[in-house]
Amino acid sequence: MRVHFCGVRGSTPAPGPEFVRYGGHTSCIALSHDGDGPRPTLALDAGTGLRRLSGLLDGAPFRGTILLTHLHWDHVQGLPFFTSGDHDDARVTLLLPGENEHTHADTLLARMMSPPFFPIGPHQLRGDWRFGLLPSGTFDAEGFSVLALEVPHKGGRTVGFRVSDGHSAVAYIPDHCPTALGDGPEGTGEYHEAVLELARGVDLLVHDSHLRAEEVAAEGSFGHAAAEYAVGLGTRAGAHRVALFHHRPERDDNEVDRIVCRFTGSSVPVVGAREGMVLTL
C-alpha cells in the first residue's frame, strides 16, 4: 500500500514561503495498491489537497472512491476543484457520515456547495458521481477493507478510518477531540476504545496534531488533539509509525520541525506529515 499525502493542514490553507516544506493544502490523503504505482483509487477526505490528486493521475479521470471523515470546510472544499473528478469520464463514489439514518448525502454536501455559496451543486459535477452514507462496520472500497468508527470532534458527526489491503494497515484520524471524554492519564485526552481499535497494530497512524500539549488547556475544547496525544496513542496501540497531521495554519515549517523533534527519543518513530510525501507500507 502507498500512502500519498496530498494536504496536511487544518482549518484553512496556508500559503506563503514559510509553509513550503510541509505544504499549505488542507486535509487529504490518497491510497494506492502496490501494483497501481502513483495512481490512487481511494481518497480520504477532500480538502484543498484533493487538487494534488489530479497531478498524481496525470490529468486522467478519477475512477475510485472518496471517503469523508466529516463535513467541515477544510475536509470538503477541494471537491469542486478536483479536475480529475469533474471530468466527463470520471466515476466517483463519495461516502460520508450521516447525521442519522434519514440523511441524504448529497443534501448534506449541498449545504456548502450550492448557490448562493457556490455556483454549482454536487450533482452538477461532470462524470458519474454517486453519493451515499458510510456503512456500519467493516466494508470494502477499491480493494481495501475499511473500518469507520465515530470519534469526538466539535461541530458534527466525525469518524476515523482504518484501511487495510490485507498486508498493511493505516489509521487516519485527522480531527479528534479526546479531551471531550476526559483529561486522560497525561492531561491531553482519553485513550478511548474507538481510537485504540482503529490504531491497534497499524503500520502507520495519521493523527490530528493541531495542538501542542501546553495549548490543550486553553484550546482543547475547540475540537483538536495535541501531538503528544497522537504519539501516546500510537505507543499504546502498538502502531509502527506516527505521522503528525492537521498542522494548524499559522504553524510554519520551523515550528512543525520543533514539534517533531520533541519525539526524537520516542519508542515509536514520528514524522511530520508533509504535502507530497509518499510512504510505502
Least confident of 24-28, 111-115, 149-153: 111-115
Q: How confident is the model at residue 6 (pLDDT cuts 50, 70, 90)?
A: very high
Q: Is the pLDDT of residue 195 over 80?
A: yes
The pLDDT score that the predictor gives to residue 98 is 87
Q: For residue 277, which phi and psi values (nearest 5 degrees)?
A: -70, 140
| Cell numbers given for 267 | 519508542
Which domains occur in the chain, in start order? Answer: 2-280 (3.60.15.10)
The pLDDT score that the predictor gives to residue 228 is 98
Count CB-CB contacts under 10 A for residue 219: 16
CA dist 32 to 79, 120, 123, 236, 247, Å?
A: 19, 30, 26, 28, 24
CA atoms within 13 A on the CB side of 145: 9
Element counts in the chain: helices (H) and strands (E): 6, 14
Element (H, E) at 3: strand 2-7
The pLDDT score that the predictor gives to residue 210 is 97
Write out pLDDT tens, residues 138-191: 999 999 999 999 999 998 899 999 999 999 999 999 999 999 999 999 999 999
Q: What is the mean pLDDT of the chain?
A: 95
Q: How confident is the model at residue 102 (pLDDT cuts 50, 70, 90)?
A: confident
The pLDDT score that the predictor gives to residue 164 is 98
